Each structure stands twice: as C-alpha cells, then as structure tokens.
Amino acid sequence: MINKSNIRKHFLTRRNLLSAHEVEQLSRDIYRQILSTSLIEDTKIIASYFAISNEASLNLLLTEHNNIYLPVVKTNQTMLFAKYTCSHELVNNKYGIPEPISKQIISAHKIDVCFVPLVAFNRQGVRLGMGGGYYDRYFQYNKDKKKPTKLIGIAYDFQGSDTIKAQSWDIPLDIIITNKEVIKP
C-alpha cells in the first residue's frame, strides 16, 4: 500500500544513498539554478534553512548574502525565523538542526522569498516534508496576503514524483528549483 509515510521512507532512503561528494556537487548545481533566476538579487529578505541528512545545501547563500533568516523551532510544532549572523551563533535544536541563537525574529509578512527543504514534490507544487507540518502551519495565512512570501522548494531532480498528493492543509510551492531545472507550477 502506498501511504504518506511509506513514500517518505522511500525518498529518504534514496537521498541517503548520495555520497557527500554528490550532495556537494548537486547542491552547487541547484545554487547555480537559483542564480539563474532573479530571486536573490531582487530580494531583500530571504528565509532559508540549514541542511542536514543529505538535504540539498544552500550554505553558499549563508556566506554570500547578508540578510538571511533561518527557522527556529518553538513549542506546539511551530517555528519562527531568526537572523543568521555567523556559524558560531548556531545551536542544535531537538531535531539536531543548527538554528540561530539570535533574537532577531522577522515578521512573516516581511519575508520576500523562503527556500524550503523537502523530501519529495510533484510538478504542481505539492510538497512532502518530514511530516511535522511546520511550513504548512507557518505559511497558512500566506494565501490571504497582498504580497505573499514566495515559497521555493529546493530539490534533487529524483525527488519529483506523481505519487505526491496534496492534503487540505498543504501550502503549495510557487517554484521548485532542482539541480536540472526551475519548475513553475
């Protein structure tokens, strides 16, 4: 039977097969695809993530842009975004993800672009995450905003699949950037 948790396991197993060298190479390809868009240049405030467990890394962005915010996990499966200052000012959260100790929290409506990690996606912009629902919860109000945050899924091309289906609470991605292409659903 195909259910969400089996699909997650399948794609996480596939991702775990990547060598450190492949992660580095594919992440560089993804970063190059990002630079081919105007997402970074035109944007003042960017939310991103700190990659763990073979996730595509956007760490180049942390060193090259000076207005980056990273997720900070709070209680009740919620998160906020706090300013990234430097690598020494990060501490592991309960998931083992380094997060800023900075108290500079950004209001959601000020974030222009958010780069979102994922486990799998489909070409209509549906995202399968780790199952915490953090991004769905944080951006649930996004659709009602005059100037919604642009949500950019960051993926390896092999994470794309038709088996991914949206559920009522899933917030869609506006763009998906892989090592091979920029997908606009």
Q: Does 136 bind ligand ADP (CB under 6 A)?
A: yes
CB of 132 to Mg ion, least distance (A): 9
Q: Does 174 bind Mg ion (CB under 5 A)?
A: no
Is the torsion defined by CA of 72, 74, 77, 81 positive or negative?
Answer: negative
Kindly indicate which of the ranges 38-46, 57-65, 136-144, 146-154 contains the residues binding ligand ADP, using the contact rule CB under 6 A. Answer: 136-144
Residue 71: phi, psi to the nearest 5? -65, 140
What one-character DSSP code corresponds to residue 177? Answer: E
What one-character DSSP code corresponds to residue 170? Answer: P
Q: Does 131 bind ligand ADP (CB under 6 A)?
A: yes
CB of 4 to Mg ion, least distance (A): 9
Q: Which of 29, 89, 112, 136: binder of Mg ion (CB under 5 A)? A: 136
* Site residues for ligand ADP per CB under 6 A: 4, 128-133, 136-137, 140, 167, 169-170
